[in-house]
Structure 1
């Protein structure tokens, strides 16, 4: 199928789905941080203005490692398959709060910072998550000891420790500079999957108002300390209604992008719930984005091991459907997990069963990879 034949019907549908509120969608976007750097503001505006037909395709830890390799110059599993890099690079900053040398995935921070600069220099977009350690217990993000979140709030017993974590984040964010010394814009996704139950900041550990207070304090503190290169991404896991999605929403003046994370766990040939659920959540997210004049994204997604040889064109493309998302980010290609005794990856590598389908998926141009994204000059007006 040619690019023209593929995009035309999508364009027609987009006009009904995402651009149905023309007056609202044409309103100029404004970042929550009123002191945002020029490059950050331009990127945010361009994610709407220049992405009228496609979504950016992203991958976590893409440049650092892949299946059976690590830290090879200019390598990427995606590039090995299609000759192109992803347009969005996902990274994690867990460890900066404790002055660790490596992040949560074992990537040395000096290498991660260079990878961030490399992707940005080629015209890619950077998104960052933070599995911050539990400030109450000093254990990892998955420790859900009761009242952990409350302890981090102003007046809480670990508030000063939480601020010290943020101070380390300030140094990290401001260290991400291009060759001209300008800080690199970052799509920052704090407290991700907040309506789950597996992190210390999740819904089982605080009331909606307590969570909102932590989000607002965090954003205000980072800005007060001079961080102005962040685009703030609100992120949930699965949800059924708009009310559920917005239950912990901190307010329009504290969110720039609305998003969710969603993975496939069941065999598509046996159960089509993945596509149906994806479409339902995108429908709700689209309503929220239009109502609040925000961009929307799928911040984590994928099918571990990709056992379906046609998953990209027959499942994933249908799951996203005609909804206009700014970007989708597939999770990382860790490779062999010794503890779990299994392979862990979310995009194909040479010889993987969905490799050829991924090439077809790439050639549709419904999703943009780095070469096409770079042509859009997302950091220029």
Structure 2
């Protein structure tokens, strides 16, 4: 099984320029060491064995392989709600308005899709949002883009909020545990997963092929602003829910067009702490990290901190044969928070490329609510963003290779 091994090819040649009487080497001997070549053990033929879902659709397998391969030299640029943000009234994404090209990834959310008020009726606002989201995902796929879904799932008691601050202390301490197998809200959680499964299983492109997505459930769990945060469940409880989520979608609902992403916030400073709630290699395709704090006007220190965290994330992904990603990031500009000079082209770019960091993508959060993460054409930092997207390792939709076909 030579394709599963790392092959190190090294040859040493000794060129004799003169010899002593006993045929030993003299000081004139020359040693030439050829460079080491490391062969990637992940190939188009065996790639399924490194994925969570070994029965994944061909296009989903290709996405895993190609995104991992892309990360070795470049990174894709995406934005949450790119087609339906606050500034996107003309239908084009803000990234396209500013650069001339769409992002390489579209971020979406299952929040409205699984909302308790979504009754499936044409006149229902939540169902209308569901249709907008799925239509946007289809549009993104038609452009060759990558679809990434997060899930701001509302808590199981009143289903009014995903923020722990909106819950009572008792609810905070019991909500996540209640959706564990055997918990009082476990069946409620399964009905939410049933809805996710139904939507993803019916997400098809113009050729009637299932559209692959990257799914990032229960993100930023190392903080405690969400009801699934670190203060409200143990590491084993978090792992159990994550594992159940994957097993239920993959094995019970037979959904085979999902790559699964694990994505804490940026509090971790070592690989060991990053993995403290990691559900295991058989449950994760994408090793992610959300990071706003290190980019929040922290200057060179923030760049160094972010790069250090991405470096151990990248090293973990390489060792585990996974994909690393900056799953959320950005610096929000408002009327009272001005843009930072060279934030995109210097601070961010250096943080995600220095020290041989390999990440597959960076996802900016959605524009709107009086501020933006990605500038519009007239914004003061539009030129900086344009400089960022034409950097050697940056990829928008126009330079994204075909992600849905495996190479020969």
TM-score by length of 2: 0.80
Distance 1:25 1:302 in 2: 34
> How do 1:171-320 and structure 2 match up within 5 A?
171-223=198-250, 224-238=252-266, 239-264=268-293, 266-268=296-298, 271-305=299-333, 307-320=339-352
Cα RMSD of the aligned pairs, angstroms, is 2.0
Q: Matched residues in 1 for 2:312 and 2:242: separation?
A: 22
Unmatched tracts of structure 1, length 5 or more? 1-19, 338-342
Q: Which residue of 2 aligns with 1:63?
A: 83
Q: Residue 218 of structure 1: CA displacement?
A: 0.8
Listed one character per residue, the Cα deviations across residues 73-107 of structure 1 (whole Å, up to 9, x for unaligned) are: 3x11111111000001101110222252556xx98
Is 1:321–2:353 an aligned residue pair? yes
Question: What is the CA deviation profile of residues 263-289 of structure 1, one whole-angstrom value per residue up to 9, with x for unaligned ones?
Answer: 146434xx4332121011112212221
Instruction: Show the 5 A alignment for 1:156-167.
Output: 156-167=183-194
* Residues 102-181 of structure 1: pairs in structure 2 closer than 5 A: 108-143=129-164, 145-181=172-208
Unaligned runs of 5+ in 2: 1-35, 119-123
Between Structure 1 and Structure 2, whose CA radius of gyration is higher? 2
Q: Give 1:139 shift.
A: 3.0
Q: 1:169 to 1:266 in 2, by over 3 A?
A: closer
Q: Equivalent of 2:98, from 78, 81, 86?
A: 81
Structure 1 Cα separation of the partners of residues 37 and 201 of structure 2 = 37
**Structure 1 runs of 4+ off > 4 angstroms?**
23-28
The 3 A distance-change label for structure 1 pair 54 and 77 is same
Q: 1:291 to 1:52 in 2, by over 3 A?
A: closer
Is contact 1:66–1:76 with CA below 8 Å preserved after alignment? no
Count matched residues: 346
State TM-score, norm by structure 1.
0.86
Show CA shifts across 1:325-347 (max 9, x none): 0010011111xx3xxxxx32101
Match of 1:360 in 2: 387
In structure 1, distance between residues paired with 2:133 and 2:203: 10
Distance 2:52 2:117 in 1: 29
Of structures 1 and 2, the one scoring higher in RCO (CA 8 A, sep 6+) is 1
Counterpart Cα distance in 1 of 2:109 and 2:70: 27
Deviation, structure 1 residue 207: 0.8
Which of 87, 92, 101 in structure 1 is aligned with 2:109?
Answer: 92
